[in-house]
Every structure is written in structure tokens, then in C-alpha cells.
Amino acid sequence: MNENKIIHKLLEVFEYKNKYQFQTSNIPSQDMYVLERIYYNKKLTIKEISKKYNIPPSTLTGIIDRLENKKLIQRFRKNTDRRTIELVTTPEGNTIVKKHIEEDELFSINLFNSLEKTKKETLKKLLEELLQNIEKDSLFSQNKTL
């Protein structure tokens, strides 16, 4: 199997993961991504999320509205600057993210356990090296050799 087919097969596996987790949470993957960022950071402003995670403000506004309507996050005005709105997860949001994390861990364990122990360890080391060496800006460059 060539590299392109491998990448597409991996994408299919992760697409299955996204679909499964949408069914268990009823939250689209992009919304879950934002909810997780808020959860992990305890509180974030809209501007921080937009800049740090490269999400356009217009897209982010829709995501935040949906998460707030589902009562998974709350908006608070900062005392120091009333124009700035901080986002925090609600207890319901915390529960959803914790369940999502558990599913992620189960997925990872089962994915890697599909290999025998030595191959699993080798793959993990190779993936770590790959991730350390990736230059995202060059992934679509014509200068790369195939």
C-alpha cells in the first residue's frame, strides 16, 4: 500500500471515530474541539480561542452559540474589561468532555492494541518522530519528493 492509500485509510478510521463520538454526544467534532479547549484551559476568551486555534471569529461565534444553547458553556464578562467575554464549561459540559476523553482513550488503546507489543512500541516511536519533524506549512509544498 502506498503512502497516499495509507493516509486515506487512516482518515477513514478517524472519520469513523468522529461519527461514533457524534452519535454518543450529539456534538459535531468542531464544536467538541472548542468545548475541549475551554475545558482544558478552565476559561478562555473568544479572541484567545480564535487566535490560538486558528478558528475564524464568524465560525467560532456559531460554535459558541450552539454550545451555550446546549448549556455546555457559559459566557461571563470580565470585570477588568466589560467588553471581553470569558467562556467556561458548565457541569454538563465537563461531563460531556470527560466522557469524550474516556472514549478517546479507549479508541487509542484499541487502535494500538491491534498490533503485537513490539510493533506497537515501534509504531508509537515512529509516530512521535514523525510528529516532531512535521512542518505543517510544507505539507502541501510542490518541492517535496514522492
Per-residue pLDDT, averaged over 127-143, amounts to 89
CA 99 to mean position of chain CA atoms:
14
| Average pLDDT taken over every residue of the chain | 92
pLDDT at 83: 76
| pLDDT tens-digit series, residues 78-130 | 777 777 789 999 999 999 999 999 999 999 999 999 999 999 999 999 999 99
